[in-house]
Amino acid sequence: MQWIIKYLTSSIGKKQIMGCTGAFLALFILGHMCGNFQLLNFDQASAQASYNAYTEFLTGFNPLHFPVKMIYLIELVLVGAFALHIFLAVTLKIENKKARGGIEYEVNARKGKKTFATFTMIWSGLFILGFLIQHLMTLKFGEHYLYVNSQGEMVRDMWLTTIDMFANPLWAGFYVISMFVIGMHLFHAISSAFQTMGIAHQKWTPIIDIAGIVYSVIVAAGFGITAIAAFYLANQPETQALRAKSHELQQQYQQQKAKADKAAFVIPSVGEVQVSFNIEK
Ligand code: HEM
């Protein structure tokens, strides 16, 4: 038991746990990026349907019928990994500074010099934390619009919340800058994590470095392109009309939701449907 405590409180133990939590977060990001590609559809009515179906699937996914929804367990792991990652990063930074008598210097063991990415790791990490707070406040905990899907179920219109945000050039610009910072953070984190795990090999190290660059560029470019394209699409006349119509429908949906658990709606593409309100209150 004592060796666990010794390991967890040692500098190498902390760095390795940071690497593991970071790897988990990096994989989540890749999956998240692929899911968001559904916004990139010139037929925005289809994008609205598929994006809402996707977010509904994610939030409702519970194949083993756990008493607690899977999404809550995943969120718990995500928050835990993120909190641990930040806590360890800040602790190591403080310890590092103390050990050097307040003088900050850290040498990249492999190259013998400090890179720009190394220097900015803690700041890019804290920037990402700020980005995430904005991201979750605006999207996950943002406007809860309603949408009637093709099965006549009333679900959350995540597309409308998301596309409304990207319609604003300031948010779209902020996302592009954020993706650059995330890419830079990932780029250094990947090669540094392998180094911490003790994988430093003449043949493999350059390959790992290249893989790290490719991964970071894919993630930053993937999200960045999504933000730019979402901005472009959100401001197209057809999308603006669809957004206006969706906003108009909100009041009607809210009134029906307040009145009954079931109601009849006429959806242009489907005809008259019985709508069931399965949205958590
Ligand atoms: C174009 C860029 C992005 C878009 C369009 C986007 C979209 C979204 C949306 C719509 C949600 C809410 C999902 C729901 O509640 O159903 C969400 C949640 C989330 N996003 Fe993003 N996202 C983007 C970039 C990122 C990046 C770069 C990160 C990480 C650094 C990130 C991390 C998260 C996290 C942690 C959640 C919460 C997941 C959960 O609670 O299930 N997102 N995102």
- Burial grade of 189 (CB within 10 A; 0-12, 13-18, 19 or more): buried
Rounded to the nearest whole angstrom, what is the distance from the C-alpha of residue 71 to the centroid of ligand 1? Answer: 13
Residue that is written with structure tokens 């179906």 in the block: 53
Report the alpha-carbon distance of residue 250 to residue 164 in Å, rounded.
Answer: 14
pLDDT tens for each residue of 93-133: 888 778 766 555 444 444 445 566 667 888 999 999 999 99
Q: Is 261 touching ligand 1 by the criterion CB < 6 Å?
A: no
Q: Which of 136, 106, 101 is nearest to 121 (CA)?
A: 106
Rounded to the nearest whole angstrom, what is the distance from the C-alpha of residue 118 to the centroid of ligand 1? Answer: 26
pLDDT of residue 108: 47
CATH of domain 17-142+154-236: 1.20.1300
Residue that is written with structure tokens 């610009």 in the block: 173
pLDDT tens for each residue of 159-177: 999 999 999 999 999 999 9
The protein residue with its alpha carbon nearest to ligand 1, atom 39, reads 75
Atom of ligand 1 nearest to the CA of 178: 27
Q: What is the pTM of this model?
A: 0.83
Question: Torsions phi, psi of 260, nearest 5?
Answer: -150, 165
pLDDT tens for each residue of 210-262: 999 999 999 999 999 999 999 999 999 999 999 999 999 998 888 777 765 55
Q: Hey, what are 98's tokens?
A: 């103390």
The rounded Cα 120 to chain-centroid distance in angstroms is 21
Q: How many CB atoms lie within 10 A of CB 67?
A: 5
pLDDT of residue 275: 59
* Strand ranges inside the chain, DSSP E: 146-148, 153-156, 262-267, 271-277
**pLDDT range class, residue 273, cuts 50, 70, 90:** low
**pLDDT range class, residue 209, cuts 50, 70, 90:** confident
Amino acid identity, position 212 = G
Q: Is 69 touching ligand 1 by the criterion CB < 6 Å?
A: no
Rounded to the nearest whole angstrom, what is the distance from the C-alpha of residue 241 to the centroid of ligand 1? Answer: 25
pLDDT of residue 92: 84
Q: How many CB atoms lie within 10 A of CB 75?
A: 12
90 has a pLDDT exceeding 70: yes
Probe target for ligand 1 pocket from 39, 62, 126, 139, with the most ligand atoms within 8 Å of CB: 139
Domain ranges of the chain: 17-142+154-236
Q: Hey, what are 215's tokens?
A: 């991964």
Rounded to the nearest whole angstrom, what is the distance from the C-alpha of residue 101 to the centroid of ligand 1? Answer: 40
Atom of ligand 1 nearest to the CA of 39: 5
Report the alpha-carbon distance of residue 110 to residue 160 in Å, rounded.
Answer: 47
Q: Hey, what are 250's tokens?
A: 């909100």
6 has a pLDDT exceeding 90: no
The mean pLDDT of the chain is 85
More confident residue, 126 or 194: 126
Q: Are 234 and 164 in contact (CB under 8 A)?
A: yes
With H, G, I as helix, E, B as strand and everything else as coil, classify residue 65: coil
274 has a pLDDT exceeding 70: no
pLDDT of residue 102: 56
Rounded to the nearest whole angstrom, what is the distance from the C-alpha of residue 264 to the centroid of ligand 1? Answer: 33
Question: Torsions phi, psi of 109, nearest 5?
Answer: -55, -30
pLDDT of residue 190: 85
Q: Is 82 touching ligand 1 by the criterion CB < 6 Å?
A: no
What is the signed CA dihedral for 189, 192, 198, 200, rounded to 10 degrees? 120
pLDDT of residue 240: 97
More confident residue, 34 or 188: 34
pLDDT tens for each residue of 47-68: 999 999 999 999 888 877 888 8
Probe target for ligand 1 pocket from 77, 140, 157, with the most ligand atoms within 8 Å of CB: 140
pLDDT of residue 136: 96
Rounded to the nearest whole angstrom, what is the distance from the C-alpha of residue 135 to the centroid of ligand 1? Answer: 7
